[in-house]
């Protein structure tokens, strides 16, 4: 069943209920997770995209990664592969980034434009996998986008993030934030 989308401006149902399918090639987690491990591959050796919009998005993502590496140094993990085994077989997931310290893991999805597809990746795939890897840690979710249309329907209410460090310090376990970063 697809989620009902909320309007983050008033916390109520959007005027028209919008159901958005998962992103193309999205692999749902199926049943029980039996094995979850970290891999080492990153997406830096992927062939360059052909469409201009994809190239803009990748360029933006690279700038975000560079800024987060400078800010968080060894705590920032770019494109860390997560291998898993569930009832559907073997799979991999590659969050765009993670900030990990002794108590908290922030899972980051970078989008050129804010969109509900990020919710599927963050909430439905990466969060359960990260919780399986580090069950004792607080897990929070962050979409970083260059363009943020606050009228865009989204599957759940989110906090607008202006400062990542401050947000991490004050976020509850499972919090979802969206940050517009025009880098």
The residues with which 107 forms a beta bridge, in sequence order, are 98, 141
Please state, in angstroms and rounded to a whole number, the distance separating the CA atoms of residues 167 and 25.
Answer: 31
Instruction: Tell me the backbone φ, ψ of residue 10, rounded to 5 degrees.
Output: -125, 0
Domain contains 114: yes
What rounded mean pLDDT belongs to the chain? 85
User: What pLDDT is recorded for position 30?
Assistant: 93
Domain count for the chain: 1
Locus of tokens 């062939």: 47
Quick one: pLDDT band at residue 5, thresholds 50, 70, 90?
A: very low
Domain contains 45: yes
> Residue 88 belongs to what domain range?
35-180
Quick: pLDDT tens for 78-108: 999 999 999 999 999 999 999 999 999 999 9
77 vs 9, higher pLDDT: 77
User: What pLDDT is recorded for position 152?
Assistant: 83
Domain contains 27: no
Domain contains 3: no
Domain contains 1: no
What is the domain-level CATH number for residue 115? 3.40.1350
pTM summary value = 0.86
Domain contains 7: no
Quick: pLDDT tens for 15-61: 333 567 787 888 889 999 999 999 875 655 566 677 887 888 888 99
Quick one: pLDDT band at residue 2, thresholds 50, 70, 90?
A: very low
Domain contains 59: yes
Q: Could you tell me the two tokens for 120?
A: 């599927």
Q: Which of 1-10, 13-22, 136-145, 170-179 has the lowest mean pLDDT?
A: 1-10
User: What pLDDT is recorded for position 26?
Assistant: 81
- Nearest Cα residue to 3 out of 126, 92, 95, 119: 119
For the chain, list the strands marked E by DSSP. 35-38, 76-78, 82-86, 89-93, 97-100, 104-113, 138-147, 159-160, 176-180
């Amino acid at each position: 069943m697809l989620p009902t989308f909320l309007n983050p401006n008033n916390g109520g149902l959007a005027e028209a209920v919008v159901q958005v399918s998962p992103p193309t090639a999205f692999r749902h987690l199926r049943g029980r997770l039996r094995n979850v491990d970290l891999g080492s591959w990153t997406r830096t050796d992927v062939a360059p995209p052909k469409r201009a919009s994809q190239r803009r998005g990748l360029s933006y993502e690279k700038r975000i990664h560079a800024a987060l590496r400078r800010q968080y140094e060894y705590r920032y993990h770019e494109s860390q592969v997560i291998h898993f085994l569930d009832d559907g077989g073997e799979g991999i997931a590659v969050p765009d980034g993670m900030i990990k310290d002794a108590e908290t893991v922030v899972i980051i999805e970078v989008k050129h434009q804010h969109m509900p597809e990020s919710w599927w990746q963050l909430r439905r795939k990466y969060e359960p996998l990260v919780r399986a890897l580090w069950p004792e840690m607080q897990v929070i979710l962050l979409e970083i986008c260059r363009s943020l249309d606050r009228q865009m329907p989204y599957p759940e209410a989110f906090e607008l993030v202006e400062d990542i460090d401050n947000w991490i310090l004050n976020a509850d376990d499972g919090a979802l934030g969206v940050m517009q970063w025009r880098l």
